[in-house]
Amino acid sequence: MTVLVSGATGFVAQYIINDLLKQNYKVIGTVRSQETADKLKKLFGNNPNLALELVADIAAPNAFDSVFKKYGSDIKVVLHTASPVSINTRECEKDLLIPAVNGTKNILEAIKKYAAKSVERVVVTSSCAAVVDTSNQGDGSVVYTEESWNPATWEICQVNGISAYCGSKKLAEAAAWDFVRENRNAVKFQLSTVNPIYVFGPQLFDEDVKDRLSSSCELINALLRGKPEAQYLQGMRGNYIDVRDVSRAHLAAFQKEQAIGKRLILSNGPFTYQNLEDDFPQLKGKILVGNPGSGKDIHKTMPTIDNTKTREILGYPFKSLKETVDDTAAQILKKDGKL
């Protein structure tokens, strides 16, 4: 069976591709340039079951048409992971909202045009950013579930990069559900979404441990490497999920009947910005210690994410905070010759 994965170079997508190849799927990944295609192909050991195709910009009109024209009815499953994560932008529409929303619409329109009868399942990588309302950040009485939606609108979310990123994920996910409702008789596929919270975990390939890591892993990287921004990140708190569990959920999302039409909220509980020292004594005195022991009180001030329904559908335990943080940290320390 052939699975199309958009944004194949991504932190999450690389794990998904690895898991798909291990389960003997044929994978078509989309990447932005030939250079990244060549690099990625090599990292995957030139696996003959992995083909990479160029989609330079998911937001360009008809961005995915050439891929569907080429592979047509071979594609049975589409996993749309590509989306901009650049929160340090002031050009919210150009850099976040338009690519996220139009990228999602483009891949669904391409299915409708070229593979309406053959694509059976589509999984859109959304986010908990599409679920939570950031104005409730300090309210411990709030509970989010699979039914919750971020109230962001196109106009209101453009106050800064973070708010626009959250808006981009909400509006892109909403566009996917709208598409299915409006095209129920025109396409065969069933939709599911995967909505992760902060994704931690090691990079699939050690080569990808750069000075700066993408998205959530930079929180751990900045702390470990003593970057100046770690100072203000000390107050940071949130919920986490391991990248390996996120990948597994993408496969379950199209393999399991129970996942049809569902939003899978991926979170395994809260974290605060401390407690690496215990597991890596060589860091003692070299990184910020935060306020050890304060975590429990901080957690009481945070909204709860109740993803009971998702856990029932997935049926596997998520990795602990200790395992995900330690594995992330160990890979960085190894790269820096400190392990």
Q: Which amino acid is at 36?
A: T
Sign of the Cα torsion 118, 110, 170, 99 reads positive
Going residue by residue from 227 to 246, which x/- string records binding to ligand NDP, judged by CB under 6 A? Answer: --------------------
- Least CB distance to ligand NDP at residue 300 (A): 24
Segment near ligand NDP (CB under 6 A), from 9-17, 46-54, 109-117, 255-263?
9-17
Active site residue 334: no
List the one residue from 104, 106, 125, 328 that touches ligand NDP (CB under 6 A). 125
Is residue 249 within 8 Å of residue 314, measured between CB atoms? yes
| Interface with ligand NDP, residue 247, by CB under 6 A | no
In the complex, minimum distance from the CB of residue 115 to ligand NDP, in angstroms, rounded to a whole number:
20
Angstrom distance (rounded) from CA 222 to CA 212: 8
Q: How many residues in total does the chain contain?
A: 339
Does residue 215 interact with ligand NDP by CB under 6 A?
A: yes
Reduced to 3 states, what is the DSSP secondary structure of residue 51? strand
Residue 121 or 170: the one with the smaller Cβ distance to ligand NDP is: 170
Q: Toward ligand NDP, which CB reaches closer, 57 or 327?
A: 57
Tokens at residue 275, please? 């407690």
**b/e map 183-200, b = 16+ CB within 10 Å:** eeeebebbbbbbbbbbbb
Distance of closest approach, residue 186 Cβ to ligand NDP, in angstroms: 25
**What would the two tokens of residue 1 be?**
């069976």
The Cα diameter of the chain in Å comes to: 62
**CA Rg value for the chain:** 20
Catalytic-labelled residue, pool 26, 76, 105, 169: 169
Distance CA 76, CA 61 (A): 23
Tell me if 196 contacts ligand NDP by CB under 6 A. Answer: yes
With binding defined as CB under 6 A, does residue 106 bind ligand NDP?
Answer: no
Please tell me whether residue 229 adopts helix, strand or coil conformation.
helix
Q: At closest approach, how far in Å is the CB of 52 from ligand NDP? A: 11
Report whether 208 contacts 334 (CB < 8 A).
Answer: no
Binding footprint of ligand NDP, residue count (CB under 6 A): 27
130 binds ligand NDP, rule: CB under 6 A: no
For strands 237-242 and 270-272, give the pairing.
antiparallel
The interface with ligand NDP within residues 57-86 (CB under 6 A) comprises 57-59, 81-85
Q: Which residue is nearest to ligand NDP (CB)?
A: 10
d(CA 89, CA 73): 38
User: Among residue numbers 14 through 33, which ones bind ligand NDP (CB under 6 A)?
Assistant: 32
Q: Does 331 bind ligand NDP (CB under 6 A)?
A: no
Catalytic center residues:
169
Query: Which residues of the chain form contacts with ligand NDP (CB under 6 A)?
Result: 7, 9-13, 32, 36, 55, 57-59, 81-85, 99, 125, 127, 169, 196, 198-199, 214-216
